[in-house]
Amino acid sequence: MSLRYAAVAVELDAPAEDVFALITDWPRHHEWMFMTDARQTGPDMIEAYTGIRPFGFLDTMTITEWEPPHRVRVEHTGAIVRGEGAFRVRPLGPRWCRVVWAERVEVPRWALPGWPVVHAATVLLVRRSLVRLGELAQR
């Protein structure tokens, strides 16, 4: 295995508290996160399915840090995605914030040649998703 990192930062025209509330409202992820349905399965457990069934994967996570309205960190525990992830929300004013999505994932050695393509696609789709999150928070 080899650790790889991906991150996206965007500034949103929405209050940090509202944005954090939407990020951590797991059943609403389908409203803004690209092709992802999520749900809380226990006090500190989440699962998210990304893709169009049956073509996709289940990402199971354990919440490891919970600091509303600024940060949530998870450990990815699934068969496909393993590693750490986080959302950080920093207020820039009463109606403006910066959101950072960051992931450190374990990539099998056989998959390393494909990492640049996966990384580029993931960053593009997460950036679009975070912009959609900001639009949703403005409603």
User: Contact, 39 vs 26, CB < 8 A?
Assistant: yes
CA 105 vs CA 2, 26, 77, 109, 112: distances in Å: 8, 21, 11, 12, 12
Q: Count structural domains, the chain.
A: 1
Provide the residue range defining the domain that includes 134. 2-138
- pTM of this prediction? 0.93
pLDDT of residue 53: 86
Residue 20 confidence class, pLDDT cut points 50, 70, 90:
very high
Provide the 8-state DSSP code for 20.
Answer: H
Which strands make up the sheet holding 36-42, listed edge to edge?
2-12, 96-107, 82-93, 71-77, 55-67, 45-52, 36-42
pLDDT of residue 1: 81
The CATH number of residue 118's host domain is 3.30.530.20
Q: Which residue has the higher pLDDT, 104 or 1?
A: 104
pLDDT of residue 61: 98
